């Protein structure tokens, strides 16, 4: 049978605030256990939660970025359950009235893009951590993470493959970083996904029974877990079984998912509005204040790049993978001036520059060549001082030495004598000598063999150690051999 996979993702993005969702304690990662847990985080008797305005603002930014409805009034609710790393015995979240509802995320797919509708996004606090090692049979509790602000972003079950789910997660990851609400650090758990996976015969409109796979903290695990889970469900149904609604955990070491708890023993969280917190109001003034501080969104950048600047959809997508890369590109463009050079700049940034970042494993912010320096280099290609090939040599030298200013490339070109030879008389002398030394090949060219022509181009470049202006060399060879 032909099966369709149906996936919805719930993503927890840790909001990049200074302090916690409802207390003044720091959320910085890596402090000694419980060093960042204040009276509120410890749930001492008598303490009260106070919402963090900065966290609410980040939720509003997200809502604006995905074109969602930002509820003027939303309600914090308590999700009650007992666990040692949940100090109050309840988590403050939003349940019936979240701050954000609806919105869409445009994701790249094989043949273009798809719009994935979002259900909602709500504010909540994280729990602490239970440490089961190093305590000789006992469990240690670290409450540094308790109370950390999270935005839980829920998609509709509109994703149809592991590839789409990964594309969605990557796009979302890029977006939350772009609008500066989450650092996106997946190793530290700042961005993690739960996947709801079900399967159904293609053409069926009702949803199959779903399983939720918890805490997928890399795109690779998300991909593998969905593939595995979908295969498991299909195999189960095809062999006469039935999928049971349950929560499963992905084990990357064994590449399998296994059952955590079934719906039957799902807890009753006894949600109710938190009486310590009045409804959260977002008025027009606050909304416009946040909207005014929003950066241009990646979709708008892409439209500008493919429009006025004439870039391909692919280049535009690559350049808008992160706000840093896009900003870098625009700084290079600003320095170069005319928009006609967008293609050249895009090629270099998505090519040499991205490769160098990858090779060194660094972010744009730590790139060895600053945007003005790259612009300086590209300027020398544009004005014919060096060829594209020589430019790569200069690029490598700049990357090695580190380059910040527009004249950095010039200094390399001068010091190494890489200036392109465009002087016709100089090149004519060199080419004449080559033609005379290779009469047989010259005859082949004259007989119309293209390959032989390229042989002379190569020889000329070799003789000029790559500095000969390729266009001039071409013209001279044409005049000598094909006239």
Partner 1 sequence: MSALHSMSLVETARALAAREVSSVELVGALLGRISALNPSLNAFITVDPETSLRQAAAADQRIARGEAGPLTGVPVAHKDIFMARGWRTTCASRMLAGFVAPYDAQVIERFDAAGAVNMGKLNMDEFAMGSSSESSFFGPVRNPWDLERVPGGSSGGSAAAVAAALVPAATATDTGGSIRQPASLCGVSGLKPTYGLVSRYGMIAYASSLDQAGPIARTAEDLAVLTNLMAGHDPRDATSVARPAEDYRRDLEQGLAGLTIGLPRAYFAEGMSADVRAGVEAAIDTLRRLGARTVEVDLPRMELALPAYYVIAPAEASSNLSRYDGVRYGHRAADYTDLADMYSRTRAEGFGPEVRRRILIGAFVLSHGYYDAYYLQAQRVRRLVAQDFKDAFAHCDLIVGPTSPTVAFPLGAHAADPLQMYLSDIYTIAPNLAGLPAMSIPCGIGAHDLPIGLQLVGNYFAEARMLGVAAAFQRETDWHRRMPAAATA
Q: Per-residue x/- mask for partner 1, residues 284 to 313, rule CB under 8 A? A: ------------------------------
Specify the stretch interacting with partner 1 by CB under 8 A; choose among 38-46, 182-190, 198-206, 229-237.
Answer: 38-46
Residue 272 within binding range of partner 1, rule CB under 8 A: yes
Q: What is the phi/psi pair of residue 360, to 5°?
A: -90, -5
Least distance to partner 1, CB of residue 161, Å: 34
Residue 48 within binding range of partner 1, rule CB under 8 A: yes
Least distance to partner 1, CB of residue 119, Å: 21
47/461 with CB nearer partner 1 = 47
Identify the residue among 277, 335, 354, 382 touching partner 1 (CB under 8 A).
277
Answer yes or no: are the C-beta atoms of 248 and 213 closer than 8 Å: yes
Residue 433 within binding range of partner 1, rule CB under 8 A: no
**Which residues, in sequence order, are bridge partners of residue 131?**
140
278/307 with CB nearer partner 1 = 278
19/320 with CB nearer partner 1 = 19
Least distance to partner 1, CB of residue 84, Å: 5
Specify the stretch interacting with partner 1 by CB under 8 A; choose among 83-91, 195-203, 405-413, 462-470.
Answer: 83-91
94/469 with CB nearer partner 1 = 94
Residue 49 within binding range of partner 1, rule CB under 8 A: yes
User: Of residues 8-37, which lie at the interface with partner 1 (CB under 8 A)?
Assistant: none
86/162 with CB nearer partner 1 = 86
As a whole number of angstroms, the distance between CA 181 and CA 14 comes to 8
Least distance to partner 1, CB of residue 71, Å: 18
Residue 50 within binding range of partner 1, rule CB under 8 A: yes
Least distance to partner 1, CB of residue 40, Å: 9
Specify the stretch interacting with partner 1 by CB under 8 A; choose among 25-33, 81-89, 97-105, 212-220.
Answer: 81-89
30/45 with CB nearer partner 1 = 45
Q: Per-residue x/- mask for partner 1, residues 86 to 125, rule CB under 8 A? A: -xxxx-----------------------------------
Identify the residue among 111, 268, 383, 450 touching partner 1 (CB under 8 A).
268
Residues in contact with partner 1 by the rule CB under 8 A: 39, 42-51, 78, 80, 82, 84, 87-90, 141, 268, 270-272, 275-278
């Amino acid at each position: 049978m032909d099966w369709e996979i149906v996936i919805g993702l719930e993503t927890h993005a840790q909001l990049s605030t200074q302090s916690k969702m409802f207390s003044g304690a720091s959320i910085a990662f890596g402090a000694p256990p419980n060093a960042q847990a204040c009276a509120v985080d410890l749930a001492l008797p008598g303490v009260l939660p106070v919402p963090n305005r900065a966290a609410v603002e980040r939720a509003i930014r997200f809502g604006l970025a995905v074109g969602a409805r930002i509820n003027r009034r939303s309600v914090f609710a308590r999700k009650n359950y007992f666990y040692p790393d949940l100090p109050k015995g309840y988590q403050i979240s939003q349940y019936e009235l979240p701050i954000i509802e609806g919105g869409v995320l445009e994701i790249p797919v094989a043949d273009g893009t798809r719009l994935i509708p979002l259900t909602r996004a709500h504010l909540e606090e994280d729990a602490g951590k239970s440490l089961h090692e190093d305590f000789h049979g006992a469990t240690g509790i670290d409450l540094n993470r308790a109370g950390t602000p999270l935005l839980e972003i829920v998609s509709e079950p509109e994703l149809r493959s592991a590839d789409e789910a990964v594309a969605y997660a990557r796009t979302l990851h890029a977006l939350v970083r772009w609008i500066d609400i989450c650092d996106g650090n997946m190793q530290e758990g700042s961005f993690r996904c739960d996947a709801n996976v079900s399967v159904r015969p293609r053409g069926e409109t009702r949803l199959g029974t779903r399983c939720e796979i918890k805490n997928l903290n890399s795109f690779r695990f998300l991909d593998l877990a969905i593939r595995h889970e979908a295969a498991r469900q299909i195999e189960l149904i095809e062999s006469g079984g039935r999928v049971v609604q349950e929560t499963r955990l992905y084990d990357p070491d064994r590449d399998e998912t296994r059952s955590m708890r079934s719906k039957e023993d799902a807890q009753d969280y006894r949600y109710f509005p938190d009486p310590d917190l009045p409804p959260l109001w977002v008025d027009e003034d606050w909304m416009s204040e946040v909207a005014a501080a929003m950066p241009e969104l990646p979709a708008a950048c892409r439209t500008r790049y493919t429009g006025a600047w004439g870039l391909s959809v692919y280049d535009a997508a690559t350049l808008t993978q992160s706000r840093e890369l896009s900003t870098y590109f625009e700084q290079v463009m600003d320095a170069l001036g005319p928009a006609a050079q967008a293609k050249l700049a895009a090629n270099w940034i998505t090519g040499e520059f991205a490769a160098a970042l990858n090779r060194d494993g660094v972010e744009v912010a730590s790139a060895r060549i600053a945007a003005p320096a790259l612009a300086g280099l590209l300027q020398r290609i544009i004005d014919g001082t060096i060829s594209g090939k020589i430019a790569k040599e200069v690029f490598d030298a700049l990357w090695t030495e580190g380059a910040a200013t527009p004249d950095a490339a010039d200094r390399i070109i001068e010091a190494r004598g890489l200036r392109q030879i465009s002087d016709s008389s100089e090149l004519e002398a060199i080419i004449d000598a080559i033609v005379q030394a290779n009469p047989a090949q010259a005859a082949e060219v004259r007989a119309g063999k293209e390959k032989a022509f390229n042989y002379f181009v190569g020889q000329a470049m070799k003789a000029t150690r790559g500095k000969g202006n390729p266009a001039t060399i071409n013209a001279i060879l044409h005049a000598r051999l094909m006239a």
